[in-house]
Amino acid sequence: MGRIAYRCPATREALATGPDGLFRRDGALYRFLPRAQADSVPVPNFLDLAAAGDGQRASLSMYDTATATAVYRNFLDWLFATFGEDEAAWRRAMVARLALRAGDAVLVTGCGLGDDIPPIMDAVGAGGEVHAQDLSPAMVQAAAGQWARAGGMQPRFSVGDAARLPFADGAFDAAFHFGGINLFDDIAGGIAEMARVVRPGGRVVLGDEGVAPWLRGTDYARMVIANIPLWGREAPIALLPPTARQVRLDWILGNCFWVISFTAGEGLPPINPHVPHKGRRGGTMWTRHHGVLEGVTPETRQRVESAAGAAGLSVHDWLEANLRARLAEAGDVQAGSAGDQPSSTAIPKPVRP
């Protein structure tokens, strides 16, 4: 058994292992694919065909047929010959973007024939753990058959939608995807799931077809897009989760494929919004966003700005002081306090216009 146990992709609850598959508490069963050999590691199938959208149906019609693996291998040979790359060396360089260490646990989504698995196994070593999943049972059967026991370790395989992963939050040190996300029904979900299952500080790398923006409009771009329309897609950089940090976007393979790499963070980027602005307007990022009141007439605005300048205060400090003074006069007992957010400057004495 590996360190990382499967969870229900819908409820995230732990699953029990039975002879035919993985069970949920309520009896729902995720069946194992038929085993290639009696001793092969079981491959659970989390595919929910009833929930499959157009993208999943299109992918299954392409990648889950009797000839799919041969057709795809043929495509890979064409692709790497077209761009003059050695596939194994190219995949090693792609995997290097994950900055893996010995013992790491890594997930590959949309693994296809699993050609990224050997360089990942080399990087994490026998003490690491590699999981690979794909929507297509045919691709997973082929990958599991080829990489069942390689490099002193046993990769684990599963079938399912990469936008609904059967793993707990933060289970992996890194996640990798190449070549399928353009066809996902839920691209943002596919990226968010990679980020979710990677621990904070772990690396996520994903890439797919999409000619670089500066090539659009050239005959080169028209030719490659005419050849495969998916190469006209754009990098989904705006779909990254707000937790993404140290984001990098670049283009590879004749600048016809984008690659996004990022570190999984927690929450929004750290920021101190209470640093006071020096100068005429004053206030802070916090007050300018959360403290906006109604507008006043242009004449009043101009008079307030003049009064603040004459008092040697920023407009923010002048308003804060005078409005609090007015509130105190009106009997508001909290008027002198700084409120529930820290004011980074002492509240100045009220100044009458």
Chain residues that interact with ligand SAM, rule: CB under 6 A: 56, 59, 63, 109-112, 115, 134-136, 139, 161-163, 178-180, 183-184
Choose between 181 and 315: whose C-beta lies nearer to ligand SAM.
181
CA distances from 271 to 123, 267, 275, 285 (A): 35, 11, 10, 10
What angle do the packed helices 68-82 and 54-63 form, to 10 degrees? 90
Choose between 59 and 287: whose C-beta lies nearer to ligand SAM.
59
Task: Read off the amino acid at residue 204.
Answer: V
Choose between 194 and 311: whose C-beta lies nearer to ligand SAM.
194
**CB 287 to ligand SAM: min, Å:** 45
Choose between 23 and 90: whose C-beta lies nearer to ligand SAM.
90
**CB 100 to ligand SAM: min, Å:** 17
Ramachandran quadrant class, 102 (left: phi over 0; alpha: psi -120 to 50; beta: rest):
beta
**CB 29 to ligand SAM: min, Å:** 21
Q: CB–CB of 116/176 below 8 Å?
A: yes
Choose between 42 and 180: whose C-beta lies nearer to ligand SAM.
180
**CB 136 to ligand SAM: min, Å:** 4
Choose between 90 and 288: whose C-beta lies nearer to ligand SAM.
90
DSSP calls for 76-106: HHHHHHHTT--HHHHHHHHHHTT---TT-EE
Closest by CA to 240, choosing from 257, 210, 263, 256, is 263
Q: CB–CB of 29/40 below 8 Å?
A: no
Q: CB–CB of 153/106 below 8 Å?
A: no
Q: DSSP label at 50?
A: G
**CB 205 to ligand SAM: min, Å:** 12
**CB 48 to ligand SAM: min, Å:** 11
Q: CB–CB of 152/129 below 8 Å?
A: no
